[in-house]
Structure 1
């Protein structure tokens, strides 16, 4: 069996390419969120099932640690002074924190079903009208959705409110 010149060339190139190690991305702390933040969910502007409905405002302190392989590709952990921990990640310059809330949606029989809470936020300009990647103030939304079927029906509760995260250290 005779090998063609093209087959030999492809074999040499493949071997050379496989033996090379490309540039390795290093994690960069300046791309991520690291430090202590005050998290505020503004209940004065809350919506319950898309209708404005005043809810209690919630303020807590978050300790955030993230690692980024590239700008926009970050993951880490949030620890709240309310006693919960959750994963934080960034996708297309927007940060997300998702966690389950036990006994969140009240049921007619007196029990309560869980809810999925999602914080979505981005670094904002001082007036909140746009994005500013260097800002230490982040704005977005805190939304919680009941789990369908948890109260014996598919009707779920959905509450959303404005959210603000401000770095303090």
Structure 2
């Protein structure tokens, strides 16, 4: 009988609007990602079409600005010192930025093909207070199928880390 009373009381509290002042688990400001970061793609662990093939490390400086309307709906911009800018989207606790690299893949006949580079990253530790200081994920670039007369797309994937600059 005591359990039923607690359940009825809880329902009454909700219907009366008594829990309306409770903050969500993640406030919008907790999710937004802003600042200057070092972006590093680790070529030692790179895979080309799922085969371990060493690639040179890539290190860049990113300036990130974002805002959120809810803890699940965030957008922003990444500006890289490598000369590109990309839209940034937050979905399913992951950030994603995508841009096109012209003349990325060199073909034997001297022609080139573009590549679509995507960075997907998330907080290295969700429970840490500094979850916006170090993020980890993947840097993946994929060429179009049929480039260079080959039906299989060139796909290079490297571990990625984003670290806030002091």
Q: TM-score, normalised by structure 1?
A: 0.77
Give deviations 1:70-129, integer Å, cap 9, x for gaps: 11211010000111100011001100011111111121211110011010110012xxxx
Counterpart position of 1:124: 124
Q: Any conservation in 2 of the 1:100–1:116 contact (CA below 8 Å)?
A: yes
Give deviations 1:30-76, integer Å, cap 9, x for gaps: 42110101000000100011000100000000000001011121101
**Alignment size in residue pairs:** 138
Counterpart position of 1:49: 49
1:163 aligns with 2:160: yes
Question: Partners of 1:150 and 1:67 in 2: how far apart?
Answer: 37
Q: Any conservation in 2 of the 1:29–1:66 contact (CA below 8 Å)?
A: no
Q: Any conservation in 2 of the 1:124–1:132 contact (CA below 8 Å)?
A: no
Within 5 Å, which residues of 2 pair with 1:80-159?
80-125=80-125, 131-132=126-127, 134=129, 135=131, 136-159=133-156
Q: Any conservation in 2 of the 1:73–1:90 contact (CA below 8 Å)?
A: yes
Question: Partners of 2:134 and 2:83 in 1: how far apart?
Answer: 23
Unaligned runs of 5+ in 2: 1-26
For the aligned residue pairs, the C-alpha RMSD in angstroms reads: 1.6
SS at match of 2:146: coil
Counterpart position of 1:22: none
CA shift at 1:133, angstroms? 6.6
Within 5 Å, which residues of 2 pair with 1:14-53?
28-53=28-53
Unaligned runs of 5+ in 1: 1-26, 126-130
Counterpart position of 2:14: none
Question: Partners of 1:58 and 1:117 in 2: how far apart?
Answer: 13
SS at match of 1:44: helix
